[in-house]
Amino acid sequence: MGSLTLTLACVPPKNPNCTTTNTINRTNCIKNLTNCSSYSIPVHFRRLNRINIRLLACNCTSASALSSSLISEPNWIRGDDKAEENEKVFIVVNFYRFVFIRDPEDEVSKHLEFLQGRDIHGRIYMNEQGINAQYSGPSEDALAYVSWLKEDEKFHDILVQISPPIHRHAFPRLKLRYKPSLVQMEGGVSHLPLIDSSMRATPLAPAEWRKRLEAANNIDVSSHLNPSRNIVLLDVRNGYEWDIGHFIGAQRPNVDCFRSTTFGLSGSEDIASDPLANVDKEKTDILMYCTGGIRCDVYSTILRQRGYKKLYTLKGGISHYLQCEGPVEWIGNLFVFDSRLSLPPTSVKHDASTDESLAHGVSDNTVFGKCYVCGSQVSELRHRNCANLDCNLLFLCCSGCMDDLRGCCSSDCTSAARLRPVLPGHERYQKWHYYRDT
């Protein structure tokens, strides 16, 4: 049972002599207004998809004027009926901040208390070094949390990224808790001076990043054999993220999991796959990027400790860049770590002028976006999980291989004991126990 209070007002000019009865008809709620004036009425309801008010107007105003003033009331949707879920607009919100939190356990309880009764799913982690959050929810709940967070001085100018609307949660449930490491790295990150911004890479605004990339890529086109390259574009993500989209000029990271990234660290066995091997630590500009910025903040601190001087990062990461600049110097889609998996740049910025990037995209698409099975080009830049429940590998697949291997990543997997059906379109598999019993 939900409830709200509606304040109704006859739209001026009001006739003080009007005594007509207005009737508000709702699915389960009928109230009679006995005068032409302002009214506050408490309304209790169970199942309402939409506020449905039919006014039998009084003589002093038009029904349409009055009813529209009611329907514009923005804050009335708070039902508990599951049928309403499909009607809501959900958004995905991301933010993080490295800042000293004196009592993170207490901070966690405050957040849990605020989110009580709000429909938020996702991963929100805190510790002495700050906060890292990715979550989804109906926009009013998701944004209420942001406003509440920003009232706290430590968080008031936090960069909040909001992804385009979807129709349901992008995360299975809410995990909000203390976590010893805000980012997963081999050996943890709690010993790193993450709160000290001078240890991190210098953040570049998206426009400045674009300028530098355009300049670097133009030079490379004319003289790409020039050995005195004094700029390195470093993709600080995983190989499979690069596979569906990346900045032009960035080498594919030979990494399956960010926690094991070792670019530029001494003892790296595989020099060929290390974009920072043999670079001049004093003179080379290292332009680092990741999805939202947090991995660069962590990794640049590690590089700073190893003596790299000219470290720059893309402020707010790729998602912020695509919103501000569109897909200029970018090809493909953006990999995201939630149920959506892949976002085309046009979904991030609708009015993006893509002429330039399309020209790049056509030529460069031929060298990336390959089927992990047969190596041919994939038409849809989106990963899928192997249909073998016990493999579950995230892989890119062409439509031919998908048919041949019935959604599996290899022929071995096609004869596995626990196979799931091939998923159509953009769907993802349910939780594993859904298939266990069927």
Closest CA to 194 of 263, 273, 127, 113: 127
Strands, E assignment, 334-412: 334-335, 342-343, 384-385, 394-395
Minimum Å gap between C-beta 397 and Zn ion is 6
The least distance separating Zn ion from the CB of residue 410, rounded to whole angstroms, comes to 5
C-alpha of 334 from chain center: 10
Alpha-helical runs (H) found in 116-195: 139-150
Residues in contact with Zn ion by CB under 5 A are 371, 373-374, 386, 388, 391, 393, 398, 401, 409, 413
In the complex, what is the shortest distance from the CB of residue 436 to Zn ion, in angstroms, rounded to a whole number? 17
Active site residue 413: no
C-alpha–C-alpha distance, residues 378 and 299, integer Å: 31
Give the separation between CA 150 and CA 265, rounded to whole angstroms: 37
Contact (CB, 8 A) for 81 and 129: no
CB of 161 to Zn ion, least distance (A): 33
Q: Which is nearer to Zn ion, 298 or 398 (CB)?
A: 398
Of residues 179 and 370, the one with the C-beta less far from Zn ion: 370
| CB closer to Zn ion, 126 vs 413 | 413
The residues with which 43 forms a beta bridge, in sequence order, are 4
Question: For the chain, how far is it from start to end, CA to CA, in angstroms?
Answer: 35
Asked if 121 and 92 count as a contact pair (C-beta separation under 8 A), the reply is: no
Handedness of CA 317, 318, 320, 324 (dihedral sign): positive
CB of 252 to Zn ion, least distance (A): 18
Largest CA distance in the chain: 90
145/395 with CB nearer Zn ion: 395
Residue entry with tokens 């706290």: 152
Please identify which of the residues 290, 386, 398, 409 carries the catalytic annotation: 290
Query: Which residues is 314 bridged to in the sheet?
Result: 204
Query: Min. distance of Cβ 235 from Zn ion in angstroms?
Result: 24
Nearer to Zn ion, 221 or 367 (CB): 367
Residue that has been written with the tokens 């892989």 in this structure: 395
Q: How far is CA 162 from the centre of its chain?
A: 7
Residue 67 or 388: the one with the smaller Cβ distance to Zn ion is 388
Q: Kindly list the catalytic residues.
A: 290
